[in-house]
Amino acid sequence: MTQAPDKAKERLSQISTHLKPDSQPNVLPGSDMGKDVLLKKSPDDVVVTCAIRSPFTKAGKGQLKDTMAADLLAYTFENLISKSKIDPNLVEDIVTGCVLAPGGGATEYRAAALAAGFPDTTAVKSLNRQCSSGLQACVDIANQIKTGMIEIGIGSGVESMSTQYGPGAVTEFSDLLENHMQAANCKVPMGVLSEQMAKDRKVTRADQDAFAASSYQKAVKAQEQGLFDEEIMPVTVKYTNPKTDEEKTVTVTKDDGVRPGITAESLSKIRAAFAKDGSIHAGNASQVTDGASAVLLMKRSTAERLGQTILGKFVNASVVGVPPLLMGIGPWKAIPVVLEKAGISKDDVDIYEINEAFASQCVWCLKELGLDEKKVNPKGGAIAFGHPLGCTGARQVGTLLTELRRTGQKIGVSSMCVGTGMGMAAVWVAE
């Protein structure tokens, strides 16, 4: 759904008025006391004992293209049960993030949990906070555990962009919404507004392509070294070859978007997607992808009693609003808020997992926050292996904790921008 050209142009021209120097979020100085407190262990800590995902494959092309979202979710739940060895009867609630499914996927995701082996006593909820849905699902479960509402739960996310991506995912706006400036801005296509923001904030195509090439190169190296193996669980599905129309059963084991040989120079040859003189294109934006992820959470005391391996703990989270036309700046605003809640500084964080919706917004956020690029997405990100919308936030938890543990580091932050103008972030500590 697009806006009339003159109206869209008028709204996009607002971008330059929204970011002013005095709107910079606070970034706290370092605090050894805050970090020491963060690293302490308590029986009441909300911990992660298993965090897995399916492989990610290209929408419409990859080997998951014919698999419905609910089926992919069911397979991922089965894999979570198998890997964690949790008794399904102990899981009290499951929250699943999803963006595109009609009705939020509520009915089919409850069915998916039952098909995966959870009893009818396990409750299921679906939610949609756009690109942060998977993280919001994990945070909802963590907060339920903190308040004593449940003892054990699963935060998860799924998206079949092959079967559900397109204009039908957004309903037409009423006159009430269409005639309200900020409300109408919520439907400006993200690629269009990201292009305009890149121009306004002077994020060059060269910088975007360099960032994107680095994402690919890191992901290729990580895949070659088997660094995704701990988080990815294979799935066996039916796949129809689009050229021969032959259906066969395949076992999908790895992300298919990771491509070797990508350089800033090779990306510079791709035509811009949203403007003739633009800078955003298919090579420096997140891939349209299918995938599912799931994270098992409980209190530390519960994990120890059950003999569950503790991967890390959830500390806290932030969610913020930003102007709809500037949705890409979400991490810039959300990360300082969550760091302040945790009592730590940006330099106390060992690894940042920041969703690569567009290279343009990542480059801008990293620069404005003053983050060390070596700490950001060390195994690549959504540009290299994809962004199944409702899944990514839960995927990041597993990617982050496994890398922190592998490298002997402790503190991590996951974050993303959110469509319609929001940002979300969370702090995690590995064990």
Q: Which domains does the chain have, with CATH numbers?
A: 43-163+181-426 (3.40.47.10)
Q: What DSSP character marks residue 324?
A: G
The residue ranges of DSSP E strands in 349-410, in sequence order, are: 351-354
User: Residue 36: CA atoms inside 13 Å, Cβ hemisphere, count?
Assistant: 3
The residue type at 368: E
**C-alpha dist (Å) from residue 205 to 82, 161, 381:** 45, 27, 18
Average pLDDT (340-362) is 97
For the cut 90, the answer to whether the pLDDT of residue 149 exceeds it is: yes
Residue 21 has pLDDT above 70, yes or no: no
DSSP letter (8 states) at residue 310: P
> 139 with 415: CB under 8 angstroms?
no
Residue 8's pLDDT band, with cuts at 50, 70 and 90, is low
For the segment 354-383, what is each residue's pLDDT rounded down to a tens digit? 999 999 999 999 999 999 999 999 999 999
C-alpha to C-alpha distance for 411 and 115, rounded to whole angstroms: 36
Distance CA 125, CA 424 (A): 20
List the structure tokens of 22.
């005095």
What count of residues does the chain have?
Answer: 431
Asked if 341 and 378 count as a contact pair (C-beta separation under 8 A), the reply is no
DSSP letter for 356, please: -
What is the residue whose two structure tokens read 């290209």? 58
Going by pLDDT thresholds of 50, 70 and 90, the confidence category of residue 32 is: low
d(CA 333, CA 318) in angstroms, rounded, equals 9
Task: Please tell me the predicted confidence (pLDDT) of residue 11.
Answer: 62
Treating both helix axes as pointing N-terminal to C-terminal, what angle do 330-342 and 359-369 enclose, rounded to 10 degrees? 40
Listing DSSP states for 16-77 in one string gives HHH--GGGPPP-PPP-HHHHHHHH---TT-EEEEEEEEPPPEETTTSTTTTS-HHHHHHHHH
Q: Is the pLDDT of residue 194 over 80?
A: yes
Among all chains, which residue has been given the structure tokens 């395949």?
A: 250
The residue behind tokens 């706006």 is 173
DSSP SS3 for 2: coil
| DSSP assignments along 166-205, one per residue | SGGGSPPPPHHHHTSHHHHHTTS-HHHHHHHHHHHTT--H
Residue 89 DSSP code: G
> What gap in Å lies between CA 412 and CA 431, rounded to an integer?
11
**Cβ neighbour number for residue 308 with a 10 Å cutoff:** 20
Q: Examine the pLDDT at 280 and tell me if it is beyond 60.
A: yes
| Confidence band, pLDDT 50/70/90 cuts, at residue 170 | confident
Strand partners, 418: 422
Mapped onto helix, strand or coil, the DSSP state of residue 277 is: coil
Helix (H) or strand (E) holding 412: strand 411-418
Cite the active site residues.
131, 387, 417
The CA distance from 403 to 379, in Å, is 8
**What does the radius of gyration of the chain's CA atoms come to, in whole angstroms?**
21
Number of helices (H), then strands (E), in the chain: 17, 12
User: Do residues 131 and 365 lie in contact, with contact meaning Cβ atoms separated by under 8 Å?
Assistant: no
pLDDT over 70 percentage in the chain: 92
Q: What is the band of 295 on the pLDDT scale with cuts at 50, 70, 90?
A: very high
